[in-house]
Amino acid sequence: MTATHFGRMLLARFAMMPDPEDGSFWMPPQVSTVAHSVDWLFNFILAISVFFFVLIVAVMVIFVLKYRRREGQDAAPSPSHNMALEITWTVIPVVLVIVIFFFGFKGFLDMATPPANAYEVLVEGQKWNWSFTYPNGYVDENLHVPVDRPVRLVMSSSDVIHSLYVPAFRIKMDVVPGRYSKAWFEATEPGEYDLFCAEYCGTSHSDMLAHVIVHPPGEFEPWLEKASNFLETMSPVDAGRKLFQVRGCMQCHSMDGSAKTGPTLLGVFGRSENMADGSTITVDENYIRQSILEPNARVVAGFEPVMPTYQGRLKDAEIMAIIEYLKAPEGAPQEE
C-alpha cells in the first residue's frame, strides 16, 4: 500500500465511512454474536476518553495562552486548594469507572459462558501450527465451522503457552500445556477470517496462523464428510502432501531445498545424511517413520533436537502416506 492510499484510508476511516470489508477505523469486521457488544463498549469508553482528553488538552492550551508569562507580570493570587472542586473531580471518575467496569463484566460473562448445545472442536497448539480435531476424529489445519451455530473450543498445548485469537470474533484464550482451556463463539457471516497465535512461542510465532472458514448454512456437514475421507479418496502421495501441510511438518521442513528449523525434505528419500552423533545413514522408510515417532533419536547434524513426537497423533496409514509423498519422484514440486 502506498502512502497516499494510506492517507486516503485514514481519512475515510476518520470520517467513519461505512467500510464493511475492513471494519471501522478502530475495529475489524464484526463476525460473532459478541462482537457487537464488545465494540459498543469500546466506543463508549472511546467517547469518554475523547471527552476527557479534549478537556485536558483544551484547558492546558487555554491556560498556556491566557496565562503565558508577560514582562513584569507575576502570577495572580488564586487559591491553592479547593475541597469541593477536588472532591468533585475525584467522584466523577469513580462513577464513570464503575459504569465501565459493569459493562465490561457483563460483556465478559456472555463471552465466558457457552450455550449448552455448542458444537465442539478440539484444538491443539504446538510450535508452530494449530490442529483442529472434529467430532469424527478428522484433523484439519484450519478451523471450519458452520454459520449461526455456537462452537465450543477445548484447547490444549503440547509444548509452551499459545493463545488462540480471532479478531473478527473478538475472542482470545490462552492455550496452556497441562490443562484444557475453553472458548466459544457463534459466527454470524460466512467467509474466511484470520486466526493468530497471540502468546509469544518462539521462532515462528508470527507464522502460527490459521484461517477460520465459516461455512454457509448446510455446507459444513458435507465439507466435513468429504474432507474426512481423504485417505480413501486421494492417492497416497496426495494424501501425504495434505498431511504434510496440515499437521505442521512444513512449518519446519521446506520442500524447496532451503533449511528451516529442520532440514529440507526435498528429495530426502535415499539421501545420505550425517547424524549429530557422527554416524551416517541413508534415508529410507524406517528412518522416516522413526523420525516421525521418535524425532530426536537420530538428528541430522547441524539441527537442534526440537521436533515434537507424533506418537499417537498419526495413524499408520497416515505415516505411510507421508512416506509415499516424500518418496514421490517429483520431490513434490507440485503446488496446491
Partner 1 sequence: MAEEISAPVGVANVDHAGSDDNYLNHGKGILSWLFTLDHKRIGVMYLVAILSSFFLGGVFAMLLRSELWTAGQTIMTADTYNKMFTLHGAVMIFLFIIPGIPATLGNFVLPLMLGAKDVALPRLNLASFWLWLTGASFAVVSIIVGAVDTGWTFYTPYSTTTGTAVISMTLGAFILGFSSIFTGLNFIVTIHKMRPEGMTWFRMPLFLWGIYSTAIIQVLATPVLGITLLLLVAERALGVGIFDPALGGDPVLYQHFFWFYSHPAVYIMILPAMAIMSELISTFSGKHIFGYRFIAWSSIAIALLSFLVWGHHMFTSGQSGLTNMIFSALTFSVAIPSAVKVFNWLATMYKGSIRLAAPMLYALSFLFLFAIGGLTGLFLGSLSTDIHLHDTYFVVAHFHYVMFGGTVIAFLGGIHYWWPKIFGRMYSERWAQLSALLIFVGFNLTFFTQFVMGSHGMPRRYYNYLEQFTPYHQASTVGSFILALGFLIMAGYLLHSLVRGEKAPANPWGAATLEWETTSPPAYYNFKHDMRAGDPYDLDALRFEPSLGGYVRRDPSSVLATTEGVE
255-284 residues near partner 1, rule: CB under 8 A: none
Of 41-80, which residues contact partner 1 (CB under 8 A)? 41-42, 45-46, 48-49, 52-53, 56-57, 59-60, 63-64, 67-70, 73-78, 80
Q: Please say which residue, 263 or 331, places its beta carbon nearer to partner 1.
A: 263
Residue whose entry in the numeric block shows the C-alpha cell 513434490: 332
End-to-end Cα spacing for the chain: 27
122 versus 281: smaller Cβ distance to partner 1: 122
Q: Residue 15 interacts with partner 1 (CB under 8 A)? A: no
Cα 308 to Cα 52, 62, 171, 299: the distances in Å are: 52, 63, 28, 12
Q: Which is nearer to partner 1, 45 or 320 (CB)?
A: 45
Site for partner 1 in 198-257 (CB under 8 A): 198-207, 209
CA atoms of 19 and 333, how far apart (whole Å): 40
Cell 467496569 locates to 101
Q: Which of residues 282-311 bind partner 1 (CB under 8 A)?
A: 304
Query: According to CB under 8 A, which one of 17, 47, 106, 192 is a site residue for partner 1?
Result: 106
3-state SS, residue 10: helix
CB of 320 to partner 1, least distance (A): 30
Give the binding-site size for partner 1 (rule: CB under 8 A): 93
The Cα 151–Cα 169 span in angstroms is: 12
Q: Return the residue of 47, 93, 216, 311 that touches partner 1, per CB under 8 A.
A: 93
Residues 217, 300: Cα–Cα separation, whole Å:
48
Q: Which residues pair with 186 in a beta bridge?
A: 150
Sign for the CA dihedral angle at 231, 232, 235, 236 comes to positive
CB of 157 to partner 1, least distance (A): 9
Residue (186 or 199) nearer to partner 1, CB: 199
The neighbouring-strand residues paired with 137 are none
Taking CB under 8 A as the criterion, which residues in 167-186 touch partner 1? 167-168, 170-174, 176-179, 181
Minimum gap (Å) between residue 60 Cβ and partner 1: 6
Closest distance to partner 1 from the beta carbon of 192 (Å): 13
Q: Which residues contact 196 (CB under 8 A, 6 or more apart)?
A: 165, 166, 167, 208, 209
Among 12, 107, 230, 309, binds partner 1 (CB under 8 A): 107
Buried b (16+ CB within 10 A) or exposed e, 103-125: eeeebeeebeebeeebbebbbbb
Each residue 110-129 as x (binds partner 1 by CB under 8 A) or -, in order, gives xxx-----------------
Tell the smallest beta-carbon distance from residue 285 to partner 1 (Å).
Answer: 31
Residue 84 interacting with partner 1 (CB under 8 A): no
